[in-house]
Amino acid sequence: NQLLDLQHLDFQKLVDLINDSVVFLEKAAGVLPDDATVQIHLAQAYKAAGRNEEAMASLTSINETTAQKAQLQEARALLKELN
């Protein structure tokens, strides 16, 4: 029984960490909306939180003319995972 409580606690810490990351990255995206790295990290956090539609929206907001090639490749790969 104690083992189950510890597993739940670890899982809850992970959920809290993901949710905290989403909040932080949403704020960063609000300040830096054109930063592809921020949008990719926000999409990854959304994906981890099970918020796939928001993850896809974050990725599709990336400006292809200002993003670096590696960022675009990472965004496209993540989009594939979400579809």
* DSSP state string for 45-76: HHHHTT-HHHHHHHHHTS-TTTS-HHHHHHHH
Q: What is the pLDDT of residues 46-80, one digit of tens each?
A: 999 999 999 999 999 999 888 999 999 999 999 99
Mean of per-residue pLDDT scores for the chain: 90
What distance in Å separates the CA atoms of residue 64 and residue 21, rounded to the nearest whole number?
25
Report whether pLDDT(1) > 60. no
CB neighbour class for 23 (10 Å; exposed up to 12, middle 13-18, buried from 19): exposed
Q: Percentage of residues in the chain with pLDDT exceeding 70? A: 89
